[in-house]
Amino acid sequence: MTDIKQTLATAFTDEPPLAMDKSAIRRAGKRRIATRYASIGTAVLVAAVVVAVPTMVNLGGGGGGPDVGLASAPESHTVIPRTSDAVSDTKPLDPGLSDERAVQLTGILRDSGAIPAMQTHSPVGAEFGPWEFEAWGAFYTATAEVFDARGSASVSLRLVARPYEGCEEITFQSANRTCEVRTTADGREYKVELGPDVPGNLIRVTLKLPDGRKLEVSAQGIEDRSKGPYNTSPAVGGPQPMTEAELVKLATVPGLTF
């Protein structure tokens, strides 16, 4: 079954996967912290022979939608049981990264008004809710699956502890990749990369942070998973409901920094 890791496999080069097995202790600790700030994200444990369909919530934000943190209906997401009882080692956080900061970033994003006004749920197997940041290694990451009449997409935000580079840096493999460097109204540099020949018609916006590091926001079209899991991969040139403007809005949210 295709999951978020497979969907974004073509998107990232020389970087760790977005979804990782966590130790039970650290996962429980993060969840206790997160519940202070968000009312959604309750995990549902399913049996190996049953896959629960995620409960969908409309996390408005774009165009002045409702505050996600105040959603009236709690969001439930599927947790896929591991086939082994062994728990993998947790990669130590780089200096300056913390679970507490990940919770702060989640609040900043959800209060920003930049989240697109689309139906949203967590990727299959995710331990965190949609648009909820987690700290791992040298990264803060947040993911969501969004869908509306335009189609469905997986979206990823990542604060990357490596120097920003312009279009000379290739962040994904694509024979037809295009890249354009732009500047926000307040003088911040960012670049927009398009991969029309990448499955799901990949779009990536990378912002240069004040300290020289970077924030990446990527969207990739997927098959609609709103009615349950699917088992096909995104098609090359397939539907991409997210627009460049929507991704730029996410990437340039004030306060999304290390």
What is the chain's pLDDT, residue by residue, as a tens digit (258 residues)? 444 444 444 444 444 444 444 444 444 444 444 433 333 333 322 333 333 333 344 444 444 333 333 333 344 333 333 333 333 446 689 999 999 999 999 999 999 999 999 999 888 788 899 999 999 999 999 999 999 998 899 999 999 999 999 999 989 989 999 999 999 999 999 999 999 999 899 999 999 999 999 999 999 999 877 666 666 667 777 789 999 999 999 999 999 999
Q: How far is CA 213 from CA 98, 155, 161, in A?
A: 17, 20, 6
Q: What is the pLDDT of residue 232?
A: 63
Q: Is the distance from CB of 258 to CB of 140 less than 8 angstroms? A: yes
Distance CA 180, CA 58 (A): 32
Q: What is the pLDDT of residue 132?
A: 98
**H-helix segments, 11-151:** 24-34, 99-110
Closest CA to 133 of 117, 165, 157, 116: 157
Distance CA 226, CA 241 (A): 14
SS3 assignment, position 129: coil
Residue entry with tokens 């791992």: 136
φ and ψ at 199, to 5 degrees? -50, 130
pTM of structure:
0.67
Residues in contact with 209: Cβ distance below 8 Å, sequence separation at least 6, in sequence order = 159, 164, 215, 257, 258
Q: Is the distance from CB of 24 to CB of 82 less than 8 angstroms? A: no
Q: What is the pLDDT of residue 70?
A: 33
* Beta strands at 76-79 and 42-45: parallel, antiparallel or unpaired: parallel
Specify the DSSP class assigned to residue 69.
G
Q: Is the distance from CB of 169 to CB of 190 less than 8 angstroms? A: no
Distance CA 233, CA 4 (A): 11
Please, what's the largest Cα pairwise distance for the chain?
A: 53
